[in-house]
């Protein structure tokens, strides 16, 4: 299966949406009804659909400069010319003050961002919040002096397979375009694009240029943000994926509250999928649910009474088929309240009340390592419950984790990845970021590094 984020080096697109309440569903009763038009919905939604222009300045470096013989005989020229890489995506106006939601990959690494409205006016924009876990970002128009037309959020949980939806955007840069189709499937969890996999699938034509676009229902409301397509050719093959509006709403709410990161409820338990073999062992008819593999001490899960080997089967009455479905259902609950979780334990259903609170984020102590070493250019942090939750790490693991990598830095070039946990360097235990900072400043011809990646311990030896 090939899943592509619907972005090209030059293009990306957006779509629009509106209010919330279940759609009326009925079959046409006459030939006249078959000639009904979507035009009123499009006219209402179009002003809230924008283009997002992102620019990134890069050094136009000649690869021959990496050859020492070339440098020796031809010399090293002075400052290389800079080049501006540009991409085009789309966004949806979600607040009259000028807040726009789009895909994170549309603006990732951008030095400058512009918003173009449907009436061709352009505005400078700033990035308010980026959330790589959902592939969403929120922008704000700078120095806004007017109230902008917006789209309202639908309750995406009310969508049904077969509902008619519209996709609005700028595919291939041809100009604002509307396509229509149906909701082909719901709760797609095996797409592999973001941490929160719970996508709306649609056959409305979505192509490169539609990234950050919106999926609109027949009431003109935003039901999803288009983010990827299944394609073997790079073009639309009738399988597109959108982030549900209920998740988009959470990210936008965090941006409105002034946060630089999205605040979500923290369970404090590690979950695993139920395989057919596990289902047979548990005496289940179907391999559904999320199996509790670990519970962190003093976490909301522990205080609610969740136990090892409990099988989570529902959240607030909504069936849970796998851990991805649980993550989505739990993450879209409002902080400050509680969630009712049904678990199967010893052959019976037990209902637990879990407090909805954020993970503790104490002593993160993020630093960027600059000393000449294999770690140069890596941003690292101590592992707090919040960091472990953000990077999907075992909450019990100790060490220092890579949270970001500078493009072109040594750490990125030698193969470190975001989420790598550094346990030891040259036989010295790494317990906090200051330990790694100190070790990285030492002169060494060989670097023996112990790393945990994806739950597996790796021993690495690098030359100095």
> What is the Cα–Cα distance from 264 to 246, expressed in whole angstroms?
13
How does pLDDT run across 17-69, given as a tens digit for each residue? 344 445 667 777 777 766 778 888 998 999 999 988 888 776 555 555 555 55
Burial of 209 (0-12, 13-18, 19+ CB in 10 A): buried
Q: What is the pLDDT of residue 79?
A: 54
Q: What is the pLDDT of residue 139?
A: 95
Q: What is the pLDDT of residue 389?
A: 84
User: Is residue 2 over pLDDT 60?
Assistant: no
> What is the Cα–Cα distance from 329 to 323, expressed in whole angstroms?
10
β-pairing, 214-216 vs 199-202, is unpaired
What domains can be seen in the chain, in order of their start residue? 1-21+36-263 (2.40.10.120), 269-355 (2.30.42.10), 367-463 (2.30.42.10)
Instruction: Tell if the pTM clears 0.75, that is, is over it.
Output: yes
Q: What is the mean pLDDT of the chain?
A: 83
Distances (CA, A) of 435 to 75, 286, 377, 404, 406: 40, 48, 16, 18, 20
User: Is residue 420 over pLDDT 70?
Assistant: yes
How does pLDDT run across 310-327, given as a tens digit for each residue? 999 999 999 999 999 999
How does pLDDT run across 130-145, given as a tens digit for each residue? 998 889 999 999 988 8
Range from 231-235, 248-252, 331-335, 459-463 carrying the lowest mean pLDDT: 231-235
Q: Where are the alpha helices (DSSP H) in 136-272?
A: 245-256
**SS3 (DSSP) at 340:** strand
List residues with catalytic annotation.
105, 135, 211
């Amino acid at each position: 299966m090939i899943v592509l984020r619907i972005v090209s080096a030059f293009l990306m697109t957006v779509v629009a949406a509106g209010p919330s309440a279940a759609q009326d569903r009925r079959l046409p009763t006459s030939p006249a009804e078959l000639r009904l038009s979507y035009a009123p919905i499009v006219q209402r939604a179009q002003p809230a659909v924008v283009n997002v222009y992102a620019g990134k300045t890069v050094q136009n470096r000649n690869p021959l400069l990496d050859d020492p013989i070339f440098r020796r005989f031809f010399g090293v020229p002075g400052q290389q010319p800079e080049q501006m890489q540009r991409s085009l995506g789309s966004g949806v106006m979600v607040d009259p003050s000028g807040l726009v939601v789009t895909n994170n990959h549309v603006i990732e690494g951008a030095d400058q961002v512009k918003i173009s409205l449907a009436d061709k006016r352009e505005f400078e924009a700033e990035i308010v919040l980026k959330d790589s876990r959902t592939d969403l970002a929120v922008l704000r128009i700078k120095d806004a002096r007017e109230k902008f037309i917006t789209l309202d959020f639908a309750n995406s949980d009310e969508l049904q397979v077969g509902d008619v939806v519209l996709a609005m955007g700028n595919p291939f840069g041809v100009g604002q375009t509307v396509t229509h189709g149906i909701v082909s499937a719901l709760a797609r969890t095996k797409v592999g694009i973001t941490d929160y996999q719970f996508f709306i699938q649609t056959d409305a034509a979505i192509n490169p240029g539609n990234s950050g676009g919106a999926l609109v229902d027949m009431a003109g409301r935003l039901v999803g943000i288009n983010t990827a397509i299944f394609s073997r050719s790079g073009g639309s093959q009738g399988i597109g994926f959108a982030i549900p509006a209920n998740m988009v709403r959470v990210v936008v709410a965090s941006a409105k509250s002034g946060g630089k990161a999205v605040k979500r409820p923290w369970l404090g338990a590690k979950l695993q999928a139920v395989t057919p073999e596990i289902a047979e062992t548990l005496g289940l008819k179907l391999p559904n649910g999320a199996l509790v593999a670990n519970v962190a001490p003093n976490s909301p899960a522990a205080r609610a009474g969740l136990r090892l080997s409990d099988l989570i089967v529902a959240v607030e009455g909504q069936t849970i088929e796998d851990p991805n479905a649980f993550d989505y259902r739990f993450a879209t609950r409002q902080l400050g309240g509680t969630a009712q979780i049904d678990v199967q334990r010893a052959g019976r259903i037990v209902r637990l009340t879990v407090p909805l609170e954020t993970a503790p984020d104490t002593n993160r102590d993020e630093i960027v390592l600059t000393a000449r070493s294999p770690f140069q250019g890596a941003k690292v942090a101590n592992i707090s419950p919040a960091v472990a939750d953000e990077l999907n790490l075992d909450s019990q693991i100790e060490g220092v984790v890579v949270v970001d990598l500078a493009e072109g830095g040594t750490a990125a070039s030698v193969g470190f990845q975001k989420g790598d946990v550094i346990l030891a360097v040259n036989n010295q235990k790494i317990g906090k970021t200051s330990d790694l900072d100190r070790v990285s400043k030492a002169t060494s011809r060989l670097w023996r590094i112990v790393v945990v990646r994806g739950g597996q311990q790796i021993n690495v030896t690098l030359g100095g």
